[in-house]
Structure 1
């Protein structure tokens, strides 16, 4: 494990509650972001007829204790079986809250693993850092995450799409230490902030970077390979034009949104990874108490 550094004593309960608050805040930040091609926001329901912003809010409320519990499990150096059971229970609560609608299954996994890793890193006195956080996740739970990529008998839409199109999904992301978060989303977020643009602009740029990079099983399940190609093409064009640095970025992003809605495309996997990116960014800024 990474070498620890001296830091003030931690109150585990308060610390994990704070991590949970930030995790839910990151999900809320993703929800209210606009324009956000094909996705549910406060402006409209995107490509969805079965969910609204209120559905997502109910889901977030149902998950608030999960993030604290899995962070504490990480703090206590719990085995992966414990983390997995917490995730299963959280998914059941989400489904009850939403009437059976999958709003945050990917986020339960990716943000959950990040919360557990943040808890373990704090318990071991490891200073906040992107490489250190990713190393904690892989060193402690990497083998279990790799075994988790193809569970026997699993039939989620994401797993079906991944198998059909030979694509990676949330589980594969986890097995590799969330490379899309650490190698794509976070650098895009940082570049925009370093250029002096706002956090809102940084989140938009990070989302489009993730859309251009991720083999989104949400997209593949709903629209197949053609829909996935459409997402990559639109996102790549946005990036090539300079993203939010371009004076007409908003008009282009809204046009992408309208095109995605027309084809019922929803890059929900990229949205989950954006929320995870925001959580890592918050962690790097320091989480108390």
Structure 2
């Protein structure tokens, strides 16, 4: 991975941080098969979007990740980051005809890019530990206040109604699922020698198994969320993507997700963030 090896030797520029974010979102889109989510050849559980919709969104967001990294480098307050994200969401919706493809990643990857920018301004490479520490130091208080706001989005409202940890709460806690589950899972898969697709698939299922995914909760209630988590745990316990029929098992789980109209969008955002961490490593 040329970008990753190049970045490992110096503090990255805002352009490099942003490019890694765009490529990480493409990493997530390219993964197939994956349960209930859009792939290059499958709409998953979605009738209103496909891979072309996601690509239009990616092109619309390229400049956002660079800009928010620049804001992080400048020590901007959370309000400036939030306004930058709101503007990016408007560009996404304009590019997709009003379809939400990357709202979660605008929030999550945006904050990570800002943290990387802040570290780069100090001449530091953005390691997972430093990124999490920087996020908490620079914007943790503001994120904690934000997490108390009543959400007007379907996933946030479902999380509140069902007593789940929302995406805002995940951010206020420093993205524990990303740093304590997804990043270690991807690193472990790489150390085992798994090829990229298998490593990403195992990482995705590791996240699904533990995350309070508000998109799953919105679409399937607690029953749907718990079904998805149990299916992910069983998939990993049976050997994951490297098992003799791992990909067939993943595809079969995906068919059941589609039948139930489940889509683990929060897990997809977290996988993209893990891919970004790897690219920045």
TM-score (normalizing by structure 1): 0.91
Structure 1 counterpart SS, 2:15: helix
**Counterparts of 2:76 and 2:174, CA distance in 1:** 18
Whether 1:231 aligns to 2:235 is no
Q: 1:82 aligns with which of 80, 84, 91?
A: 80
- In the alignment of these two chains, the number of paired residues is 273
Q: 1:24 aligns with which of 2, 22, 37?
A: 22
How many Å apart are 1:55 and its aligned residue? 0.8
How many Å apart are 1:19 and its aligned residue? 1.3
**Counterparts of 2:126 and 2:160, CA distance in 1:** 36
Contact 2:56-2:96 within 8 A present in 1 as well:
yes
How many Å apart are 1:39 and its aligned residue? 0.4
**Counterparts of 1:196 and 1:53, CA distance in 2:** 28
How many Å apart are 1:61 and its aligned residue? 0.9
Q: What is aligned with 2:96?
A: 98
Q: What is aligned with 2:136?
A: 138
How many Å apart are 1:125 and its aligned residue? 2.0
What is the CA deviation profile of residues 222-266 of structure 1, one whole-angstrom value per residue up to 9, with x for unaligned ones? Answer: 111111011011100011112123111111100001110111100
Q: 1:128 aligns with which of 117, 121, 126?
A: 126
What is the CA deviation profile of residues 27-49 of structure 1, one whole-angstrom value per residue up to 9, with x for unaligned ones? Answer: 11101101100001112100000
Q: What is aligned with 1:4?
A: none
Whether 1:181 aligns to 2:178 is yes
How many Å apart are 1:194 and its aligned residue? 0.6
Superposition pairs of residues 127-206 of structure 1, within 5 angstroms: 127-152=125-150, 154-206=151-203
Stretch deviating more after TM superposition (211-220 or 244-253)? 244-253
Runs of at least 5 residues in structure 2 that lack an aligned partner in the other structure: 1-8
Whether 1:243 aligns to 2:231 is no
How many Å apart are 1:269 and its aligned residue? 0.6
**Counterparts of 2:194 and 2:156, CA distance in 1:** 37
**Counterparts of 1:215 and 1:260, CA distance in 2:** 16
**Counterparts of 1:105 and 1:202, CA distance in 2:** 25
Q: 1:43 aligns with which of 27, 41, 44?
A: 41
Superposition pairs of residues 210-225 of structure 1, within 5 angstroms: 210-225=207-222
How many Å apart are 1:97 and its aligned residue? 1.1
How many Å apart are 1:151 and its aligned residue? 2.2
Moved over 3 A (4+): none
Q: What is aligned with 2:113?
A: 115
How many Å apart are 1:69 and its aligned residue? 0.4
How many Å apart are 1:172 and its aligned residue? 1.1
Runs of at least 5 residues in structure 1 that lack an aligned partner in the other structure: 1-6, 285-289
Contact 2:241-2:250 within 8 A present in 1 as well:
no
Superposition pairs of residues 239-278 of structure 1, within 5 angstroms: 239-278=236-275
**Counterparts of 1:135 and 1:168, CA distance in 2:** 21
